[in-house]
Amino acid sequence: MINNLSKICAAILLVSSAANANEQTVYQFPEVQSASVAQLHMLEKDSVEYWQRVSGKELKRGVPVFVNQAEHFIRIAPKARFESGEVFKPRDLQLDKFSVSDANAQQLPMHAIAAREQMQNAGFTDGSVGLKLGQVNAKAMLKTSQALNDNDTYLVHVNEKGSRNALHAKTQFKVNDQQQRVGMQLSMGQKRVKDNEVQLSLYSPEGEQLDVRYENGEAVFTYPLETLGAANGYYELEANVETKVNGQTVKRSIKMPFVNSSQTITMDNAKVTALGNNQYQAWVPVQVTDSGRYAIRATLTGKGDKGERVKLATVEVAKQIDNYDQFMMPFSVSKAAKAPFELVDIELTDQTRMLKFAQGQ
Amino acid sequence: MKIKTLSLVPALVLAAGMSHSAFAAQGVAFVHGTGQQTDAYNDYWTGSFVNTVRQGLPNTSNYTVINCDFEQYMWADGAAGCLAGQLTTFINNKNITDLTLITHSNGGNVVRWILSNPTWDSRFPNIINKVTRTIALAPSSGGTPLADAVVAGNSFEQSLGWLLGYGNDAVKQQQVSWMASYNAQWLYGTPNRPSLPSRFETVVGSDVDSAVWDSDSYCGGYQNQVALEVTQNWLDSCSDGFLNCSSQSLAGTVWFTDKSRTKGSEPLSHQQSRRNCFGLPDMIKNRI
């Protein structure tokens, strides 16, 4: 019943807070929450695919496709082109115009798998078509007899499902603002990918391509990153790798997201007051570097009968903060405990930019 | 901030002490997946599905079908904000005290955003306090490699705000590594993360029956065999044609995997898990 009561109290607090957008939103969790697990520092991923942008002219002349196993799929998609302030969308592709040949221009068998409508049914709504080589040949040339514009752009996307030659990437997920490098380890099997085998691209959350180079296991940016947080999506590093495995060329592409982070909120010591009747208030002074909506989540603790620290309740509070301010965290608890009362498992969140900070980080 | 709670306590104690059933008003909300819906009742779920499920309510009129823009990121105002607005209106208009959410696909992620980020929006706490259960049909909790494939090589198009129709923010969000980051920091209910505040039960689609001679293949619209041949290049052997089973079962608890309970032990493809196929809505009706 006390639990129900605290829920109802919390709901009333919310009705109160909703009346003014600048006031706090308060939520008391039905149960004490465990400490926030460690922040996400690294991301790992494997790729058995590659993609490559080619021009209409190249596609008409013949583009090498690197396929090393029978199980594979080749997707070709028209891509937009930006020129003189205008966006050009290329002509749709005709599957029956594609053919495959070897290095001596001898025709190789090819299976036309999916025309535009069928690719659309599979979720590829960009005008893609799909095909497969009838004979695995690492030197196959893919070409079309369709009258494409020379300057139009197309994507050749090759997937070798289950391939042993998977590119493995391990990258830093959270980058501190002004840090102009990100750890990015690339390997294939036991072999570490060399710097000169990597072509690296960097894209902002807004899709803008930025200068970057790959240097000894790190992506190094020419300029500091501008967008803070993940509210508009992530920065992405795209690595295109071409290497030799047992004498055969293997190409792989991989994209790794990361967030550009800055400690936009810091807190001072909290002060906890017991109001009686199992009600408590914690006042937490904070300072922010950028105005926005911020939140704090914390668990109230007190001393048990044997002097042990007891977790009493977890509350989250959010409000708009422009500079210096303080959160008032109301706790309604069902367990009896003694002073001193303290907050633990504190997590601060910048909701405007989507950044999380465990206290002490 | 002025908080006037103490004077209300006696009344609240009285209210809380009264029988729960005296107040309980049970409701159901149907939450669609990726896409911008204006008539999800007809275009996404179909009346046959909705009207079967709502028969499980004490008051069959206590239901709502959500129509939002889930092409946006799950936290966006047009996504979670829109969902919060429609749920709040439904809760208030019908005095709902006990709300079951039925989600499909990415709708499960938008709901998990609300349940995991209680102060993101001042409307969220009241919704969280009313939601007693989510039945998540084929939720994309772990994302899908198909989203990665669709987005591959699209960085330039992203800068055009997806105007060319090559994808949208919800597709970007459902890339496997992106969902891994959200699950690790922003969403509850996955392993080694805090639990969601209410039950989140998933229905997992494990296979696709697409034989042209099998009439069951046609339930919910024929699943194109060629399309499947394409998507299987990115998916595990256990999938519903769009999502791997591992993604669907990543958050919450698995209520059942299709063949274990469906009529004729038929699998539920990603399209079929939101349609009146193989007894699915009847099972949900009996669950709520």
For chain A, give every domain's residue range. Answer: 2-30+263-358, 40-48+166-262, 50-162
Angstrom distance (rounded) from CA B147 to CA B73: 14
Nearest CB partner across the interface for B150, out of A80, A123, A173 = A123
Q: How many CB atoms lie within 10 A of CB A101?
A: 17
- Which residues 72-131 of A have a C-beta within 8 angstroms of B? 72-73, 75, 77, 79-80, 82, 87, 89, 113-114, 118-119, 121-126, 130
pLDDT per residue, tens digit, chain A (361 aa), is: 344 444 444 444 444 444 444 589 999 999 999 876 656 889 999 999 999 999 999 999 999 999 999 999 999 999 887 777 777 788 889 999 999 999 888 999 999 999 998 888 888 888 899 999 998 866 799 999 999 999 999 999 999 999 999 999 999 999 998 889 999 999 999 999 999 999 999 999 988 889 999 999 999 999 999 999 999 999 999 999 999 998 889 999 999 999 999 999 999 999 999 999 999 999 999 999 999 999 999 999 999 999 999 999 999 999 999 999 999 999 999 988 999 999 999 999 999 999 999 875 3
Angstrom distance (rounded) from CA A209 to CA A202: 6
- The per-residue pLDDT for A22 is 59
Whether B144 maps to a domain, the answer reads yes
Question: Hey, are the CB atoms on A25 and B73 less than 8 Å from each other?
Answer: no
**Is A234 within 8 Å of chain B by CB?**
yes
Distance from CA of A215 to the nearest CA of B (A): 23
Angstrom distance (rounded) from CA B68 to CA B38: 7
Whether B18 maps to a domain, the answer reads no
Backbone angles phi, psi at B141, to 5 degrees: -65, -30
- The CATH fold of domain A2-30+263-358: Immunoglobulin-like (2.60.40)
B16's tokens: 């809380």
- The per-residue pLDDT for A359 is 76
3-state SS of chain A is CHHHHHHHHHHHHHHHHHCCCCCCEEEECCCCCCCCCCCCCEEEEEECEEEEEEEHHHHHHCEEECCCCCCCEEEEEEECEEECCEEECCCCCCHHHEEEECCCCCEECEEEEECHHHHHHCCCCCCCEEEEECCCCCCEEEEECCCCCCCCEEEEEEECCCCCCCEEEEEECEEECCCCEEEEEEEECCEECCHHHEEEEEECCCCCEECEEEECCEEEECCCCCCCCCCCCCEEEEEEEEEEECCEEEEEEEEEEEEEECCCEEECCCEEEEEECCEEEEEEEEEECCCEEEEEEEEEEEECCCCCEEEEEEEEEEEEECCEEEEEEEEECCCCCEEEEEEEEEEEEECCCCEEEECCC
Residue B193's domain spans which residues?
Answer: 24-287
Q: Which CATH number fits domain A50-162: 2.60.120.1370, 3.10.310.10, 1.10.3720.10, 2.40.50.840?
A: 2.60.120.1370
Whether B30 maps to a domain, the answer reads yes
- The per-residue pLDDT for A86 is 76
CATH code for the domain of B212: 3.40.50.1820
Provide CATH code, domain A40-48+166-262.
2.60.40.1930
Phi-psi region of B4 (alpha: psi -120 to 50; beta: other; left: phi over 0): beta
Burial of A251 (0-12, 13-18, 19+ CB in 10 A): buried
**How is residue B196 annotated by DSSP?**
P
> How many domains does the structure of chain B reveal?
1
B22-68 pLDDT per residue, tens: 568 999 999 999 999 999 999 999 999 999 999 999 999 999 999 99
- Segment B259-263 mean pLDDT: 96
- Cβ contacts (< 8 Å) between A208 and chain B: which residues? 159
B215-254 pLDDT per residue, tens: 666 787 666 677 878 898 999 999 999 999 999 999 999 9
Question: Hey, are the CB atoms on A234 and B178 less than 8 Å from each other?
Answer: yes
Contact B275, B49 (CB under 8 A): yes
**Is B221 within 8 Å of chain A by CB?**
no
Q: Provide ipTM, 2 decimals.
A: 0.89
Whether B101 maps to a domain, the answer reads yes
Nearest CB partner across the interface for A73, out of B154, B157, B233 = B233
Burial of A355 (0-12, 13-18, 19+ CB in 10 A): buried
Whether B108 maps to a domain, the answer reads yes
Question: Hey, are the CB atoms on A9 and B4 less than 8 Å from each other?
Answer: no
- Tokens 């049970």, residue? B26
The yes-or-no answer to whether A40-48+166-262 and A50-162 have a common fold is no
- Cβ contacts (< 8 Å) between A126 and chain B: which residues? 150, 154, 164-167
**Is A315 within 8 Å of chain B by CB?**
no
**Is B172 within 8 Å of chain A by CB?**
yes
Whether B1 maps to a domain, the answer reads no
- Cβ contacts (< 8 Å) between B123 and chain A: which residues? 18
Whether B16 maps to a domain, the answer reads no
Query: Model's pTM, two decimal places?
Result: 0.90
More confident: B267 or A13 = B267
B126-181 pLDDT per residue, tens: 999 999 999 999 999 999 999 998 888 765 555 444 444 455 899 999 999 999 99
Contact partners, residue A171, CB within 8 Å, separation at least 6: A42, A43, A44, A182, A183, A184, A185, A219, A237, A256, A258
Distance from CA of A246 to the nearest CA of B (A): 25
- Tokens 């039960």, residue? B201
Contact partners, residue B193, CB within 8 Å, separation at least 6: A37, B183, B184, B187
Whether B236 maps to a domain, the answer reads yes
- The per-residue pLDDT for B8 is 35
Closest CA to B269 of B251, B253, B183, B235: B235
- The per-residue pLDDT for A37 is 60
- Which residues 129-168 of B have a C-beta within 8 angstroms of A? 129, 146, 148-160, 163-167
**Is A256 within 8 Å of chain B by CB?**
yes
Nearest CB partner across the interface for A118, out of B128, B194, B227 = B227
- Which residues 47-86 of B have a C-beta within 8 angstroms of A? 73, 75
